[in-house]
Amino acid sequence: MNHHLLLVARRCSSRSLVSSGQSFALAVRTLRTTPVVSSTLSTMAPKRKRGAAALVDEVDTVVVAATGSALVSSPEEAKALIRRTSTRKKMKVVYTEEVQDADEAEQDDAFDGPLTDLDDAPAEEKLPKKRKRRTKTQEPVVYDIPPVETKITNFKGRLGYACLNTVLRAMKPEPVFCSRTCRIDTINKPDFGMDYCKELGRKNAEDLSRLIQWNEDNGIKFLRMSSEMFPFASHEKYGYTLEYAEKELKAAGDLAKKYGHRLTTHPGQFTQLGSLREAVVDAAIRDLDYHCQMFRLMGLGKDSVMIIHMGGMFGDKPATIERFKEVYRTRLTDEIRERLVLENDEMCYNADDLLPVCEELDIPLVFDYHHNWIYPSEKPLPELIERINAIWHRKGIKPKQHLSEPCPGAETVMEKRKHSDRCKSLPEDLPEDMDLMIEAKDKEQAVFHLYRVYNLHPVIHENLRPEKPPKPFPRATEDNADGENGEGEVSATPRKRKTRAKARKTEQEADEIAEVLNIGVAEEPKDLEDTAEPNTSAPVSPKKKAKQKTPRKSAKKRVVVAVEVDTSVELQQIVVAGLESDGMAQDHGYAVGQDSKDDIEVDGILAN
């Protein structure tokens, strides 16, 4: 009862029904003196959520039992009474982050795994991080450098190598070398073009400065520049000038002059001024002008020379020399003539052939010891070198010579021409003050080897490399000339083996023909043995008849000459010359079969 009474009072206090203290006290007294209807009380609870108007009507009909006088006389006292005597607990809801119960947390912990922390991490931390590549720490390779046997020499000049440095070329990831090139097909592609070709030349010029600096650090002051530094620069169609790389060339030239290095070039074997073809001579002149342009942009002096060979003989050595003289006098510029020098070769022109030409035209001569060993001069070496050095001194250029050695085991001339990996010693008649170019496969390692042998200059041990064992020359043996030798190595290429087999077959046929001419009797060849003739009378099944193939007619018809014991000279002439008609054999009294007029078969031996 009290609960419902207080509920009605609370609702009335918040509406117009209890707007004043007088009306509020009257309402309370009315509620306390009015009997309560049980049906009304049973319907009060479900109607708590109805509207305000419905609640006012319900108040008028509510009857409660009288329990005494009024308890409150003002709205404030009524509100205080309600707060003091209300049995309902107001729940204050505070919205916070969801907190799990202890039991649920324990259950979740039971399923935790290695990836739980990653799932609970914020979204920003779950983003995959860029994996850094681990750089492998490579330990420096330690080479086993064997000791050398020291020797004594009076040589005081500079030793150099040609074009390529093996240590710098093997550097990673960016090797250093000066011979990057391309093909004409690459130039014609739209994605590359001449810009790509020129960029290769510019990169070669940049690496030339690095190469010179490395040589200075290792005590090498003589270098032959690569003729392929600027690809196709002297080409008739794709040629170009070198002004675009003037900065790189000048930097390399200034560095060489700063350290006192000598740089030279050696144009290729196609640079032949004595050729019969005018196009070859024009290309040679363009190539020489290209090399002069490099030296000019580098600012190098006259010690930077261009070495060429006289070239081929073209069937007439004196005529070729005269053509060379004519081109040298009339078609070469003064700049080219100042830098051009000749070198003796091992096949066509030795020092005796070139020395008169060099003395006449005042052209310095580079003496090559290896070429002179293959194609020697008739003059004594001291006399020859003295005359050669006189031309160098007359032009004010320091003398220059070439040194190389053949590969071990070389026997033929072609095998002797191949250069070995290193030179074992210096020549005995070597002048003291001159520059010596070491033409060897190991390049700077060959120079280091001579430095160690003769104590010419200290070397950096980290830059030394061991010498590789020489490869033997492949040769065919008499027992196994067509295939492989006893060690299982191929003795010759398939083309060479086929050529040799064909030559041996020809020699064998010639021997058999000579034997027939000598004794008049020849063995019956295997391909002419009697064979059983097929029985045409026997019945043949249709299947077998279909499988039978008609014999091919020989492409070559034969003239069969029956030789008895006569071995006259006339018959020999007939066989060697090859009869073309049966009438020629019949005129000489020999029986001729009417099979062919192209070849002769003498008792089974075919002679072409």
Task: Give the CA count within 13 Å in the CB-facing half-sphere of 123.
Answer: 0
- Note the pLDDT tens digit of each residue in 165-219: 999 999 988 999 999 999 999 999 999 999 999 999 999 999 999 999 999 999 9
Three-state SS annotation for 273-339 = CCCCCHHHHHHHHHHHHHHHHHHHHHCCCCCCCEEECCCCCCCCHHHHHHHHHHHHHHCCCHHHHHH
Residue labelled with tokens 């034997």: 515
Asked, for residue 271, whether it belongs to a domain, the answer is: yes
Phi, psi of 381 (to 5 degrees): -60, -45
For residue 449, the tally of other CB atoms under 10 A from its CB is: 21
- Note the pLDDT tens digit of each residue in 8-61: 556 655 544 444 444 444 444 544 444 444 444 444 445 444 444 444 444 444
Tell me the mean pLDDT in the region 597-603: 37
Asked, for residue 478, whether it belongs to a domain, the answer is: no
- Note the pLDDT tens digit of each residue in 297-342: 999 999 999 999 999 999 999 999 999 999 999 999 999 999 999 9
Asked, for residue 295, whether it belongs to a domain, the answer is: yes
Give the type of residue at 577: A
Of 263, 264, 285, 266, the closest CA to residue 274 belongs to 285
Question: What CATH number is attached to the domain comprising 276?
Answer: 3.20.20.150
If one compares 11 and 368, the residue with the highest pLDDT of the two is 368
Average pLDDT of the chain, as a whole number? 76
What are the distances in angstroms from CA 72 to CA 2, 9, 452?
A: 14, 11, 125
Asked, for residue 205, whether it belongs to a domain, the answer is: yes
Would you give the distance in Å from CA 532 to the centre of its chain? 65
Asked, for residue 253, whether it belongs to a domain, the answer is: yes
What the block records as the tokens of 494 is 């398939």
Are 426 and 154 a contacting pair, CB within 8 Å? no
Check residue 26 and give its pLDDT: 46
Q: Is the pLDDT of residue 413 over 50?
A: yes
**Number of structural domains the chain divides into:** 1
Q: Are strands 365-368 and 340-343 parallel, antiparallel or unpaired?
A: parallel
Asked, for residue 248, whether it belongs to a domain, the answer is: yes
- Note the pLDDT tens digit of each residue in 579-598: 333 444 344 443 333 333 33
Asked, for residue 134, whether it belongs to a domain, the answer is: no
Count the helix, strand and coil residues of the chain and give each as a percent rounded to the nearest 5: 45, 10, 50
Domain containing 202: what range?
158-463
Asked, for residue 567, whether it belongs to a domain, the answer is: no
Neighbouring-strand partners of residue 265: 306
Neighbouring-strand partners of residue 202: none
Check residue 91 and give its pLDDT: 63
Q: Is the pLDDT of residue 266 over 50?
A: yes
pLDDT > 70: what percent of the chain? 61
